[in-house]
Structure 1
């Protein structure tokens, strides 16, 4: 374990908790982490590395923050959307901090990785389900319109399946006695599909069903609703995210099957 001081400096922490390549992982690092959250988490690490708080406990707190973000969307109006976005930022911060503390203490584990993945599944699904229930207007005078809750749940299912499709590649390879997949294997063997994949990656529309992006999208449509005076844009947003989730689930499956990831 690195030599500890009462409160290690950012300079002491950085090479250990942010080893070379950690911010450059193709699918393992969120753009918000690279842009600002990794720098914020470094400052938080200073106060946590010498406490009794374990990395797994921080992961549990991450899950709580993510699930509460979905519940916060039940608060009507802009306040609920703003609270949800703030809680997702806390969720992202804890997602950075838990791994950084584990690296500093040399406490990285398979259990920690597993809990982290489960946390992402639960939190992002909770946010999208909460968005659907918000659009259903459960506290409205006319009674809830459950179609919107269904669409939000459909978006949540799609978001989970997209992650599962990626994770199950390594499960399938491990059960076949193969090593983990390499980045270059993700390129489709068909040139046409490769071009389509690059176009989709450039547009990045699929990111809207991710936790951070979805929370900002929800906040944006809440502002539009405030101006309009109803929840038209929230309902439109739920329909858009459900459509994106369904299309992306199918495209991602085709992309995996047409690549060398299962070879």
Structure 2
């Protein structure tokens, strides 16, 4: 059976605009993962593996990334970062295989969104439990697990706020929102939104970015000999998640997305 080349795959699985989507494409996908996924596609397009099965594997990898954070020290943080990269790879591959085989579906889109919710939440909850030091002789400090769960809830709500715009529009008989409608009607809010977008601090609660933060603080903790930097990281991510949840909600309400 013919194994397509990268040149044959590219125009089909990476149609114009895929890498340039304003909110649908991750920077890591544009930077390197889409090129890696193209080379994986060659070996998958002629197999019996379905796009939805790849999506299920993506979810498993994402949840596992949160679970392995319970492994103490650098080992857990490294495993978490590697599994998040596998999660990102599968997130690229499932859609690409679907486009090549013309098997794109609403079910696939739905599973993909659920996968993002579960995986990113699992990573942040795992980070919080890691900070709680569940296996400590003196007993765990569950405050850090609570803050990690708070960060996870914020990450889910940020995604839900975006997704629910299209739900609200669909139920009102309106088409999907266009990118230009995201600009707040107030000039002050528009300026604040541009400043936040430039700083990109909100991205730190995303799966790839959070896994890198977890790895960096684990290295710092290895040098210092305790969990100070892990706990500082949990507190920072929880604060970012709460603030971003509120700001994102205000941004949506102040824009034309619900008009």
| Alignment TM-score, normalising by the size of structure 2 | 0.99
Find the aligned partners of 2:56 and 2:140 in 1 and give their Cα distance.
Answer: 32
Task: For residue 33 of structure 1, report the CA deviation from its aligned partner.
Answer: 0.1
Q: State the alpha-carbon separation in 2 of the partners of residues 41 and 253 from structure 1.
A: 34
1:150-175 per-position Cα deviation (integer Å, ceiling 9, x unaligned): 00000000000000000000000000
1:192 to 184, 188, 194: 188
- How far does residue 251 in structure 1 lie from its aligned partner after superposition? 0.1
Which residue of structure 1 aligns with residue 31 of structure 2? 35
The separation in 2 between residues aligned to 1:150 and 1:142, in whole angstroms, is 18
Deviation at 1:141, TM superposition (A): 1.2
In 2, the alpha carbon distance for the partners of 1:74 and 1:139 equals 9
- Superposed CA deviations along residues 46-75 of structure 1, whole A, max 9, x for unmatched, are 000000000000000000000000001000
Deviation at 1:98, TM superposition (A): 0.0
For 1:177 and 1:256, how far apart are their aligned partners in 2?
Answer: 19
Q: How many aligned residue pairs are there?
A: 257
Q: Secondary structure at the match of 1:73?
A: helix
Alignment partners' CA distance in 1, 2:123 and 2:111: 18
Describe the SS at the equivalent of 1:254.
helix
Report the equivalent of 1:111: 107
The secondary structure found in structure 2 opposite 1:225 is helix
Provide the TM-score with structure 1 as the length reference.
0.98
Describe the SS at the equivalent of 1:215.
Answer: helix
Q: Secondary structure at the match of 1:50?
A: coil
Supply the distance in 2 between the matched residues of 1:10 and 1:70 (Cα, whole angstroms): 33
| SS of structure 2 residue aligned to 1:166 | helix
Aligned counterparts of 2:23 and 2:68: Cα–Cα separation in 1: 28
Partners of 1:80 and 1:19 lie apart in 2 by: 37
1:236 pairs with 2:226: no
Tell me which residue corresponds to 1:209.
205
Deviation at 1:94, TM superposition (A): 0.0
- Residue by residue over 1:234-260, the C-alpha shift from the partner in whole angstroms, topping out at 9 and shown as x without a partner, is 000000000000000000000000000
- Structure 2 segments unaligned to the other structure (5+ residues): none
Q: Distance in 2 between matches of 1:259 and 1:199?
A: 16
Q: RMSD over aligned Cα, in angstroms? A: 0.2
Q: CA deviation at 1:142?
A: 1.1
SS at match of 1:257: helix
Shift of residue 108 of structure 1? Answer: 0.1
Write out per-residue CA displacement over residues 71-123 of structure 1, whole angstroms, 9 at most, x where no aligned residue: 01000000000000000000000000000000000000000000000000000
* CA shift for structure 1 position 229: 0.4
1:25 counterpart = 2:21: yes
